[in-house]
Amino acid sequence: MSVTATCVKRAFKYRFCPTDAQAAELSRTFGCVRKVYNLALAARSEAWAIRQERVGYNATSAMLTAWKKTEELAYLSEVSSVPLQQTLRHLQMAFTGFFGKRAKYPRFKTRKKSRKSAEYTTSGFRFRDGKLTLAKMTEPLAIVWSRPLPEGASPSTVTVSQDAAGRWFVSMLCDDAGVKPLPATGSAVGVDVGLDHLLTLSTGEKIANPRQERKDRTRLAKAQRALARKAKGDGANRAEARWKVARIHARIADRRRDHLHKLTTRLVRENQTIVIEDLAVRNMVKNRSLSRAISDAAWSAFRSMLEYKAAWYGREVIAVDRFFPSSKLCSTCGTLQDRMPLHIRTWTCDCGTRHDRDVNAARNLLAAGRAVTACGAGVRPQRSSPGGQSAMKQEVSRREP
């Protein structure tokens, strides 16, 4: 796997406690960012629907200048222009993804549901002596430095955000020269994800599923019932109830993210090659019986973390085709079983080998990944075994709650 010698860009995220004046300024900025995004999206959509005309970033930037001169939208000039220009660039990227068939059509932002954030480039902030000051502000942000920035690093982009629980965050994008390929190792591991055990490794090790959402399920249900009883609108009681629900969700997400970071970092440090299964998680969560457990397991987040960390440290992640019959294939003799119902957790092959379902699947994934590395072989299932049947069926049924 080739690794470039350039510095890796990393985002370092910290919490901070704004003053009342800073909070008011940032809230105004969030509102203006949302307003400009929606105005530009409406203008671009209307131009295409009426005149079949594509409006790009430069045209919307000129529109922004005109909007600021109107009496109705004069308040847009009261906040920094940098986040407003950046949101137009984000809209351009959204349309690029849409026309490239990589994303859906951009949607309008709403005050209650959309993420509150504003992005500043170097002209919109000052970073000196470890203190960050944003445009239109006189005092630096009171950042909680939970970890230091890379030595000599200077942020190229700063993103300020506020989550639904009311917590304030600042994310700094920096070049990190400390991220370098780890010493090569000859070890490889197959990883089978599940619900009873979050991960099962080809070595036989099983990592328990912490089920983060279940730990707070009772408290979350109580808070959601309290929110449902509040009258709809912008009342203070409903806002407080919504905030309590958001705090519980934030605590669950924080624990889940922390656990996944520790697991993926360990796998990347210990193994040169990691073989996983290319699961269609978006389709699997349509199963109403398993959707809650699958979402809590966060398989997509696990894969994403694994892939970018592997790219950082010179490791390789191989995704085996989702139709590969990893559970029904004997890892010893290669015999393919006709059926493997969900309730069967251990089984004995005709060759006499007794398999743990998940460990056997992880070993088959590893073997398939090694075949790809060695000779570029495909990992599509083959027609074989006593029944002579193809195992082209997608194995979503082997995930257990």
Contact 187, 268 (CB under 8 A): no
- Spans in the chain with pLDDT lower than 50: 1-4, 379-401
pLDDT at 114: 93
Give the chain as a 3 state SS string.
CCCCCCCEEEEEEEEECCCHHHHHHHHHHHHHHHHHHHHHHHHHHHHHHHHCCCCCHHHHHHHHHHHHCCCCCHHHHHCCHHHHHHHHHHHHHHHHHHHCCCCCCCCCCCCCCCCEEEEEEHHHEEEECCEEEECCCCCCCCEECCCCCCCCCCCCEEEEEECCCCCEEEEEEEEECCCCCCCCCCCEEEEEECCCEEEEECCCCEEECCCHHHHCHHHHHHHHHHHHHCCCCCCHHHHHHHHHHHHHHHHHHHHHHHHHHHHHHHHHHHCCEEEEECCCHHHHCCCCCCHHHHHHHCHHHHHHHHHHHHHHHCCEEEEECCCCCCCCECCCCCCECCCCCCCCCEEECCCCCEEEHHHHHHHHHHHHHHHHHHHCCCCCCCCCCCCCCCCCCCCCCCCCC
pLDDT at 177: 86
pLDDT at 391: 35
CB atoms within 10 A of CB 31: 16
CA dist 347 and 265 (Å) reads: 33
pLDDT at 399: 36
Among 25, 119, 213, 358, the active-site one is 358
CA dist 350 and 333 (Å) reads: 9
CB atoms within 10 A of CB 374: 8
Strands 273-277, 188-193: pairing kind: parallel
pLDDT at 380: 46
> What is the rounded average pLDDT for all residues in the chain?
88
pLDDT at 7: 79
- Sort 167 into a burial class: Cβ within 10 Å, 0-12 / 13-18 / 19+: middle
Written as six digits, the tokens of 120 are 């500043």
Residue closest to 32 by CA, chosen among 64, 59, 70, 66: 64
CA dist 63 and 85 (Å) reads: 11
pLDDT at 99: 92
> How far is CA 69 from each of CA 73, 74, 289, 383, rounded to the nearest angstrom?
7, 6, 55, 70
In the numeric block, the tokens 């994403």 are attached to 304
Among 25, 119, 277, 296, the active-site one is 277
pLDDT at 6: 65
* Angle, CA 392 vertex, CA 390 and CA 397 arms, to 5°: 115
Where are the chain's structural domains?
10-176, 182-210+244-401
pLDDT at 4: 44
Among 25, 119, 192, 213, the active-site one is 192
pLDDT in tens, 95-138: 999 999 999 999 999 998 899 999 999 999 999 988 999 999 99
pLDDT at 375: 60
Residue 277 annotated as catalytic: yes
